[in-house]
Amino acid sequence: MQLEIENYDDIILEWIPYNQFNEIKETGKNGSITVYSATWKNGPLVNKYLRIFLELYGISQDPNTNDYILIFNWLSGNEKIDDFIQEVQLKTNNIIMLEWVPYNQFYKIKEISNNGFATIYSAIWRKGPIVNFYKYSYRRNSNENVFLKQLHNSHNLTRFVINEVKKYLTSNSSFLVIYGISQNPDTKDYILVQNKPINLTGNEKIDNTIQEIQLKILKYDDLIFEWVPYSQFDEIKQIGKGGFATIYSAIWKDGPLYRGKNMKEIHIKKLH
């Protein structure tokens, strides 16, 4: 395999002595395969460009059991989820940098919403998400603020988790919502790592409608349809009333997400 390397940025497959690994922790088990996370003292032979896709770095062997070990750059411990992540990466031409994110990468985790179906947390991601900053060159935005959507009782619902991730996939990188998948080590619930809080209304049908509209946005200057907390409105004044609704004028503190405009004075239609 080493002799077949053609590109200057290919991974160098190698034999890795087991004593090169420390902080070895079991993260998952699937039949005859057990997955561990570990720190590799010397690390893989790679060039300056960031490697993204699920790749094999080398082979090792446990001196106690004589079991052979395959060294990957990441694994969730769930074969279906690993295959899904790799499939998304390879099919989206690097637009979506979906990846598996170890839970210990997050700190300052704070709960901000719980609707029974999922709990939303804010957190800081140490390494941060992968971004494409020039053609096929990549870097990470370290210490990025992210939102963690923890799906309740999802530890045995792999297909459900994959379908939830698919809801956020879009070919428009400007409105990319999801960075990756993680897992709470205590509850084993799967987590969607997102760049914005989704599903904060407590009403699943409304959340899904907002999400569907956002993912259909095609133009860079389209208005971003979103959920707006009522506390965002000031100077609320009634200006009209009908049979089923009352119209108010108001000032929206942050204003809508709209390219090229800074419109904050809006009208509110309150449905009776």
Please report whether residue 120 resides in a domain: yes
Residue 99 near residue 82 (C-beta atoms within 8 A): no
Q: Which residues contact 234 (CB under 8 A, 6 or more apart)?
A: 250, 251, 253
Whether residues 170 and 130 fall in one domain? yes
Per-residue pLDDT of the chain (272 residues; tens, 9 = 90+): 777 766 655 667 889 999 999 989 887 777 778 888 888 888 876 654 445 555 678 899 999 999 998 887 777 878 888 888 878 877 755 555 788 898 989 999 998 877 778 888 989 999 888 776 555 556 778 888 888 999 999 988 899 999 888 877 765 555 567 889 999 989 999 999 988 765 556 676 787 787 677 666 655 455 667 777 787 888 889 888 877 889 989 888 777 765 444 455 666 666 66
End-of-domain residue from the set 72, 89, 122: 72
The residue range of the domain holding 132 is 79-216
Please report whether residue 3 resides in a domain: no
Token duo for residue 99: 């990846």
In 3D, which of 165, 228, 163 has the Cα closest to residue 200?
228
Please report whether residue 221 resides in a domain: no
End-of-domain residue from the set 54, 72, 90: 72
Please report whether residue 5 resides in a domain: no
Please report whether residue 222 resides in a domain: no
Whether residues 93 and 187 fall in one domain? yes
Whether residues 158 and 103 fall in one domain? yes
Number of domains present in the structure of the chain: 3
Whether residues 113 and 161 fall in one domain? yes
Using a cut of 0.85, tell me whether the model's pTM lies above it. no
Whether residues 173 and 259 fall in one domain? no
Please report whether residue 159 resides in a domain: yes
Q: How many CA atoms lie within 13 A of 117 on its CB side?
A: 13
> Helix 79-91 vs helix 158-166: angle between axes, to the nearest 10 degrees?
20
Whether residues 178 and 206 fall in one domain? yes
In 3D, which of 146, 163, 158, 211 has the Cα closest to residue 183?
158
